[in-house]
Amino acid sequence: MIETVSTLWQNISFAWPYLFLVLPLPWIIQWLLGKPQHTDTKPIFMPFYHAFTQAATTTTTQKSKWRTVLLMLAWCCFVVSLTRPVYYGAPITIPNEGRDLMIAVDLSGSMQTKDMQVNNQEVDRLVMVKTVLGDFIQRRIGDRIGLILFADTAYLQAPLTFDRTTVSQLLSETVIGLVGDSTAIGDAIGLAAKRFTDKPDVTKVLILLTDGQNTAGNITPDQALSLAVDQQIKIYPIGVGADAMVVNSLFGQRQVNPSAELDESLLTRLAKATGGQYFRARDTGELEQIYRLLDRIEPVEDNQQTLRPQTALFYISLGVALSCVALLGLLSWLSRQFNWRMEW
Of residues 120 and 57, the one with the higher pLDDT is 120
Measure the CA dihedral 322/327/328/329, to 10°: 90
Quote the CA–CA distance of 15 and 123 in Å, as a whole number.
56
CATH 2.40.340.10 fits 97-304, yes or no: no
Quote the CA–CA distance of 197 and 58 in Å, as a whole number.
74
Q: Which tens digit of pLDDT belongs to each residue from 19-53?
A: 888 888 888 887 888 655 555 555 544 444 444 34
Is pTM beyond 0.85? Reply is: no
| Domain span(s) for CATH 3.40.50.410 in the chain | 97-304
Q: Which tens digit of pLDDT belongs to each residue from 204-221?
A: 999 999 998 999 999 999
- For residue 231, the number of C-alpha atoms closer than 13 Å in the C-beta half-sphere is 26
Maximum average pLDDT range among 61-70, 142-151, 293-302: 142-151
